[in-house]
């Protein structure tokens, strides 16, 4: 079984060009310097490439906003991998 959170953290380190970036399921965009709308799209594209999944527009819009965090993103990826 893959360690989804570890791989997601690697992706985030690449996208945000920060080898020291550490995440948890509770991490939000407000916790990561530079996580704005453009970087959010870059992150989504990187996740789609790494895991070979595609997100629908509704799924993407549901990933950023009040109450959304890395855990929400990880759950969505996990669902796509099933």
Structure tokens at 40: 């959010």
pLDDT at 31: 93
Instruction: State the chain's mean pLDDT as an integer.
Output: 91
- pLDDT-based confidence at 46, cuts 50/70/90? very high
Structure tokens at 50: 């790494």
Helices (H), the chain: 4-15, 37-51, 57-61, 70-81
3-state SS, residue 21: coil
Please state the rounded mean pLDDT for residues 38-63.
91
Residue 60 vs residues 17, 22, 45: alpha-carbon distances, Å:
22, 22, 10
5-42 pLDDT, tens digit per residue, is: 999 999 999 999 999 999 999 999 999 999 988 999 99
Which domains does the chain carry? 4-81 (1.10.1200.10)
């Amino acid at each position: 079984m893959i360690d989804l959170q570890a791989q997601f953290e690697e992706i985030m380190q690449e996208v945000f060009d920060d080898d020291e970036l550490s995440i948890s399921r509770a991490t939000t965009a407000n916790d990561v310097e530079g996580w704005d709308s453009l970087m959010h799209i870059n992150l989504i594209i990187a996740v789609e490439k790494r895991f070979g999944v595609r997100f629908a527009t509704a799924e993407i819009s549901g990933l950023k906003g009040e109450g959304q965090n890395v855990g929400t993103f990880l759950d969505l990826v996990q669902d796509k991998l099933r």
